[in-house]
Amino acid sequence: MSIRLGDIAPDFKAETTQGPISFHEWLGDSWGMLFSHPADFTPVCTTELGKTALLKGEFEKKGVKVIAVSVDDLASHNKWVPDIEEVNGVKMNFPIIADSEKVVAGLYDMIHPNASEKATVRSVFIIGPDKKVKLTLTYPASTGRNFQELLRVIDSLQLTAEYSVATPADWKDGDDAIVVPSISTADAILKFPKGVKEVKPYLRYTPQPNK
Ligand code: BEZ
């Protein structure tokens, strides 16, 4: 069954390149990003894991722990890691789950048989500190993900979790936010002391509340 927004992220135990984990325990009170890739020793995946390692500090600043998964075993992951490090000029600094029994792939519905019977597609699950799934994304094997977009989405998820705002198209951290429709303009003026600009009765902007 597919995982929907608001569902509790399934818990599991797994071997990883940084030792065994129990997923919920590993997440602790942090946000998390679990992402799958089709297979070890493949070109797009090599760039994606390297990019994530390079950006790990950015994820950490946002309180997000990152973890990758594919249906290869631990010996394969461990053989592949030096390639990722060499190609991307980075030390691998986050765990890759070994899921040769397809336990995680099954729990998170990461195998889409009409795309590939055997390999996971490029799924992303962003999980909040309450262990609920806040975002899902699915890319085909042939398209590498944009990790700056994932960081941008996390900014939006974290902002909208704290304040009664939404974020407009192409929003980025620091831009004006949108007052959620359930708040009247009169109440919004009281709630957002930095100001409220009414473009339409249903489209009201306010400066980002946490800046
Ligand atoms: C890759 O991960 O590089 C890849 C996998 C399947 C098709 C194309 C690229």
HSE-CB for 80 with a 13 A CA cutoff: 21
Residue nearest atom 8 in ligand 1 by C-alpha distance: 142
Does residue 171 share a domain with residue 141?
no
- My answer on whether 171 and 71 are in the same domain is no
Ligand 1 centroid–CA 158 distance in Å is: 31
Cα(175) to ligand 1 centroid in Å equals 35
- Beta strands per DSSP E along 41-111: 64-70, 96-98
Domain count, the chain: 2
23: domain CATH number? 3.40.30.10
On whether both 177 and 110 belong to a single domain, the answer is no
In a domain, 94, yes or no: yes
Query: What pLDDT sits at residue 33?
Result: 98
Residue 140 lies in a domain: yes
Flag whether 109 is in a domain.
yes
What is the model's pLDDT at position 155?
98
Block residue for tokens 């936010």: 177
Q: Is residue 156 part of a domain?
A: no
Cα(59) to centroid(ligand 1), Å = 25
pLDDT at 8: 98
pLDDT at 159 > cutoff 80: yes
CATH code at position 185: 3.30.1020.10
34 and 112 fall within a common domain: yes
Q: Residue 105: inside a domain, yes or no?
A: yes
Question: What pLDDT score does 167 carry?
Answer: 98
Q: What is the mean pLDDT of residues 110-133?
A: 96
Q: Is residue 22 located within the same domain as residue 50? A: yes
Query: What pLDDT score was predicted for residue 84?
Result: 98
- Atom 5, ligand 1: which residue's CA is nearest? 141
Q: What percent of the chain has pLDDT over 70?
A: 100
Q: Which residue segment(s) compose the domain that 47 sits in?
A: 13-145
Pocket test for ligand 1, best of 142, 143, 145 (most atoms within 8 A of CB): 142
122 plus 64 within the same structural domain: yes
Ligand 1 centroid distance, CA of 145 (Å): 12
Q: What is the mean pLDDT of residues 165-191?
A: 97
Instruction: Give the catalytic positions in this structure.
Output: 45
Q: What residue owns the CA closest to ligand 1's atom 9? A: 142
Assigned domain for 177 exists:
yes
Q: 200 in a domain, yes or no? A: yes
Contact, 28 vs 11, CB < 8 A?
no
Which ligand 1 atom sits nearest the alpha carbon of residue 43?
Answer: 3
* 182 and 132 share one domain: no
Ligand 1: residue of 41, 44, 88, 123 to mutate (most ligand atoms within 8 A of CB) is: 44
Cα 39 to ligand 1 centre (Å) = 8
Site residues for ligand 1, CB cut-off 6 Å: 38, 42-45, 141-142
Which residues are CB-neighbours of 204 under 8 A, at least 6 positions away?
178, 179, 185, 188, 196, 197, 198
Mutation choice for ligand 1 from 36, 40, 45, CB with most ligand atoms inside 8 A: 45
Question: Does the pLDDT of residue 152 top 90, yes or no?
Answer: yes
Give the pLDDT score at 71: 96
Nearest CA among 83, 51, 77, 39 for reference residue 147: 51
Residues 121, 24, single domain; the answer is: yes
Across residues 9-35, what is the average pLDDT? 98
Q: Looking at the domain assignment, is residue 6 inside a domain?
A: no
Q: Does residue 1 have a pLDDT over 80? A: no
